[in-house]
Structure 1
């Protein structure tokens, strides 16, 4: 559906890759150098599915290591993968990472699950001994205060090189699958800080008065997440509204009718009714203005809240926010209500990773099903919806002013994760990560998004642990079990994290 095409593309991670070996080997063992480079080029091709890859080639002396470090700096890489192809002195590897400060990951990926013991030569063995220098490299990194990670496993070729004396087709083996899943996660995670450093977050209006957990220092957010906060006024949006044409309203209405089910009156809640024609037209007009605002200010995300004086034009304007902000969220511009900038960051992280990121808070606990319903009365991420979301006309927005159209929906049934971005007493950002299962349990028909989630602990035990971490009360909900991926993002961003 065209409605789900992103307004702005996600920036791909820029990844450095090099293969290591010992210069003395090349004359002693003909073909070994070329074989290792073939492995490196295979990795380059496979990694290119996830990011922009810069393969330096072979590092086999300290001079080559220094040249590689400078080259990676020129390429402005976000991470550097060191492919341990065979033994190499740590003196050749260390300069790469002393010069290029990008996070380092060592790849110990053996070409074959088992060598041919009867026929293997020294040269053949050297093509399989990538693990040999990793302890030495790890020690050098530690003593040089260079953080690093190591991925162990199989290379995952789908063929056997002609020079090989054993079967190297290991693509389907679990040790290869696990290793490449980790590599993929690191590259996907590296796209987050790169995209955030080039992002503009709109802050429209103010933070809901009294919600102390959500107040943040814009400078602190930029210092730790790299994003720019553009402060916007309601008159900026009102200016956009005045330029909306009738044709643009009709186009938005067509999008809404494609993506949503229009409700009848709620059987339970007297304030939740079928949206009136006037409400639908107004929501679509405001949605067209909201997209104009995003494009005018080149926004990558939006945080907003404004109640407006009773009966004022701005009160009416904010009453039409939810539909348009749901459409924007579905197109890669996450919109977080109540002025919650930290949760907008969490939603954007999920969106960059392609996992959704719907605005949520605790709605109610179902002790019979042992689930916690998570959702909100604001925008919803349509792309991760279980079926078509429902639009309901709201006679009032509880705790807020005005009336309008709201979204009633739930996230797809199956594995889900929550990502809470909060702030410590020391002013540090912190991620709180959880995994659970979205169930097919019932939800209320009150015009709010709600997803029943069964976490790994009983709701009381889970909430005790969650609340002890001092979260912001909103969070982003993503599809899939993403804890390991979120942990990598936190590490690359230098942000504290806890996984419940």
Structure 2
């Protein structure tokens, strides 16, 4: 998770709606008094623990086919994002199948045994039945596969921190590896489901257009909405210009204070003549533009923004876009990721990282360092300032390379430690695809040219890694996040029905 950056989020992420039910065989309840109540206690434990990450709808026990139909309708009415089937004891597959035929949310089967080892000497049949949750899972798996229902199974221990009075063995398994691993999987599925729900309720602003000629980044807005559920609001520079005219002195002062707190103002670069100490005029303009950018986000209720505009030389909009980078860096740190050059797909990648609390800074390959076997990843902005190693530096740019105008840019690198890159690209059939890589940010040198740059070591030699990366046909930008998160990114891709590969 990213460090606290003291900037309040503009829009909170949505919590997932999780369905949960336990299964059993109705014939058992009269034969083994107390068994049903014991299994329902396990279900309540699951519901309460899941509740720290999600809005949980616990149906209770499903023990016959009719109850399965009622449960399926109940979950469907509540529009849950994911349904956990707690395999508490043996149950027929005919009991379980109707739940998932009537509720189309993705299914996860929980095979979580309450104890690490049953008390062989003292156990009764009723005691054994409280621990035989694995027994029906092959049957359910077979029927789901034959019914075309996609499912996942989590195996392990339940993770109670106490032993129920009815038990004949030790059920305190909270600290065992098998319980910790299972709950990590449960948490990741829930958080991935929250990403899907949040995207389905997101509004992405598209300001201006895509950098001319960058064919890898062109996207069909309908295709993106169809596959993610997010809405794309097409914005014009005159919308932002209107915000500029409404900015107040108090808003400008607030941006000045944020910039002074979160950034270091540079002197002249010792190496690059176009990267100099920002002038007072440049800083004032960046503050005004930043205030207008936040107004734009709030007025259009945006969750992310992708942008690019070059403007006519010397024109008002050229000057306006010249002040973009600082404000878009602040917005990114406030939970509104901003991607440059009109790269909508990378805005999606950045938003996924943001929703998972892992950051997600706009990046591309800068240069390879064969001496320390690293690849520098970065861009000319914006930067996710919550990921910074030290205070990001602001430099006044005499020009933006490959673009028009002048202004203030961000020079920074991501904190050292584990990182994950997430690239969202598009295949020949128009489908989105995620490319995931884990590596480490290292404390290597960077250039003093007003760009973000982070030296990253991946798990292979740079040439071997790039050969594999390029072979997946990525877009040339990616989101750079802190921590190793390939597992949860893969789950997110699966819930979005999105192809994915981990390098």
TM over 0.5: yes
Matched, 1:437 2:440: yes
One of 356, 362, 366 as aligned partner of 2:365: 362
Deviations 1:86-119 (A, max 9, x none): 0001110000000000000000000000011111
| Residue-pair matches, total | 500
Aligned to 1:303, what secondary structure does the other structure show? strand
Question: Deviation string for 1:336-357 (max 9, x for gaps)?
Answer: 0000000000000111111101
| Match of residue 388 from structure 1 | 391
Say whether the 8 Å CA contact 1:272–1:393 is kept in structure 2: yes
Is the CA contact 1:20–1:83 (under 8 Å) kept in the aligned structure 2? yes
| 2:120 aligned residue | 117
Q: What does residue 483 of structure 2 align with?
A: 480
1:128-139 matches, within 5 Å, as 128-139=131-142
Deviation at 1:2, TM superposition (A): 7.6
**Which string of whole-angstrom CA distances, capped at 9 and with x for unpartnered residues, describes residues 337-393 of structure 1?**
000000000000111111101000000000000000000001111111112111111
Question: Deviation per CA, 1:54-89, whole angstroms, max 9, x where unpaired?
Answer: 100000000000000000011110000000000001
Is 1:89–2:92 an aligned residue pair? yes
Cα distance in 2, alignment partners of residues 390 and 263 from structure 1: 6
Query: Residues of 1 paired with 2:502 and 2:250: CA distance?
Result: 48
| Correspondent of 1:374 among 377, 380, 396 | 377
- After superposition, the C-alpha distances for 1:191-250 in whole angstroms (9 at most, x for unaligned) are 111111111100000000000000111111111111111100000000000011122111
Match of 1:20 in 2: 23
The answer to whether structure 1 residue 183 and structure 2 residue 186 are counterparts is yes
Q: Tell me how far apart the structure 2 counterparts of residues 392 and 30 of structure 1 sit (CA, whole Å).
A: 74
Cα shift readout 1:7-43 (whole Å, capped 9, x = no counterpart): 0010111000000011011111111101101100101
Q: For 2:428 and 2:88, how far apart are their aligned partners in 1?
A: 46
Partner Cα separation in structure 2 for residue 464 and residue 361 of structure 1: 16
Q: Secondary structure of the residue that 1:350 maps to in structure 2?
A: helix
1:307 paired residue number: 310
1:156 aligns with 2:159: yes
The corresponding residue for 1:201 is 204
Note the 1:319-358 alignment, pairs <5 A. 319-358=322-361
Match of 1:234 among 213, 218, 237: 237
Separation in structure 1 between the aligned mates of residue 335 and residue 64 of structure 2, nearest angstrom: 45
Contact 1:80 1:102 survives alignment (8 Å):
yes
Alpha-carbon distance in 1 for matches of 2:202, 2:281: 35
The alignment yields a C-alpha RMSD, in angstroms, of 0.8
Partners of 2:369 and 2:86 lie apart in 1 by 50
Quote how far apart the aligned CAs of 1:128 are.
Answer: 0.5
Describe the superposition over 1:298-332 as per-residue Cα deviations: whole angstroms up to 9, x where unpaired.
Answer: 10100000011111110110000000000000011
Structure 2 distance, partners of 1:412, 1:148, is 37
In structure 1, how many angstroms separate the alpha carbons of the residues matched to 2:377 and 2:10? 27
State the 4+ residue runs in structure 1 displaced beyond 6 angstroms: none
TM-score (norm 2): 0.99
Q: Check the 8 A contact 2:5/2:333 in 1, yes or no.
A: no
Aligned partner of residue 244 in structure 2, secondary structure? helix
Structure 1 residue aligned with 2:460, among 454, 457, 462? 457
Structure 2: distance between partners of 1:37 and 1:448: 57
Matched, 1:467 2:470: yes
Cα deviation for residue 4 of structure 1 reads 2.1
Shift of 1:3: 4.8
C-alpha separation in 2, matches of 1:50 and 1:267? 49
TM-score normalized by the length of structure 1:
0.99
Deviations 1:159-205 (A, max 9, x none): 11111111111010000000000000000000111111111100000
Correspondence for 1:284: 287
